[in-house]
Amino acid sequence: MKNRINLITFYTIIAFSIFLCGCGKTQFTKETHKRELEFTRQFEMLTCEKPYGKLCVETDDEEEARTVETFIDNCFKVAGIEDVNNKCTLYFLTSFPANELQMAGENMFIFSLDDVINNNGNASFGRLLTYVAGCDMWISCGLAGEDTDVNEEELKEYYSNEDNRAQLSLAGLRFIDVFQDEEEIEKVKQTAIAVVKYAKKKGYKNINSISDNKAEIINGWLKSIGVDYSLEECSADKVKYFVGPEDEKLDYILIDNLALYIKGSPYNGWEVNNINQLDRYFSTISDDLKGIRDFVTDNNILDNEAVNKPVRCEWSGAHALGTSFAKPDSNTISLQAWVALPHEYTHIYFTYLNRTNHEFLNEGIAEYLGSYLNGTAMREYYVSYYTDEANKDDPAYDLINENMDVTENFDLMTESRLFIKSSDFLDEYAVPLLSEDGWSYQESGVFVGYLIENYSVDEFMKIFTSEGRDMEENEAVLQRYVDEWRESLSE
Binding site for Zn ion (CB under 5 A): 363, 366
Rounded to a whole number of angstroms, the minimum distance from the CB of residue 304 to Zn ion is 25
Which lies closer to Zn ion via its Cβ, residue 271 or residue 363? 363
Rounded to a whole number of angstroms, the minimum distance from the CB of residue 39 to Zn ion is 36
Rounded to a whole number of angstroms, the minimum distance from the CB of residue 439 to Zn ion is 12
Which lies closer to Zn ion via its Cβ, residue 279 or residue 363? 363
Rounded to a whole number of angstroms, the minimum distance from the CB of residue 329 to Zn ion is 15
Which lies closer to Zn ion via its Cβ, residue 237 or residue 271? 271
Rounded to a whole number of angstroms, the minimum distance from the CB of residue 248 to Zn ion is 36
Interhelix angle 152-160/214-225, rounded to 10 degrees, is 100
> How does strand 325-327 pair with strand 250-255?
unpaired
Rounded to a whole number of angstroms, the minimum distance from the CB of residue 407 to Zn ion is 28
Which lies closer to Zn ion via its Cβ, residue 196 or residue 366? 366
Rounded to a whole number of angstroms, the minimum distance from the CB of residue 311 to Zn ion is 15
d(CA 463, CA 476): 10
Rounded to a whole number of angstroms, the minimum distance from the CB of residue 363 to Zn ion is 5
Which lies closer to Zn ion via its Cβ, residue 80 or residue 432? 432
Rounded to a whole number of angstroms, the minimum distance from the CB of residue 340 to Zn ion is 8
Count Cβ neighbours within 10 Å for each residue of 229-265 and write b for 16 or more, e otherwise: eeeeebebbbbbbbbbbeeeebbbbbbbbbbbbbeee
Which lies closer to Zn ion via its Cβ, residue 93 or residue 452? 452
Which lies closer to Zn ion via its Cβ, residue 136 or residue 363? 363
What is the number of the residue whose Cβ is closest to Zn ion? 366
Which lies closer to Zn ion via its Cβ, residue 115 or residue 363? 363
Which lies closer to Zn ion via its Cβ, residue 90 or residue 433? 433
Which lies closer to Zn ion via its Cβ, residue 346 or residue 474? 346
> How does strand 240-243 pair with strand 108-112?
unpaired
Rounded to a whole number of angstroms, the minimum distance from the CB of residue 293 to Zn ion is 18
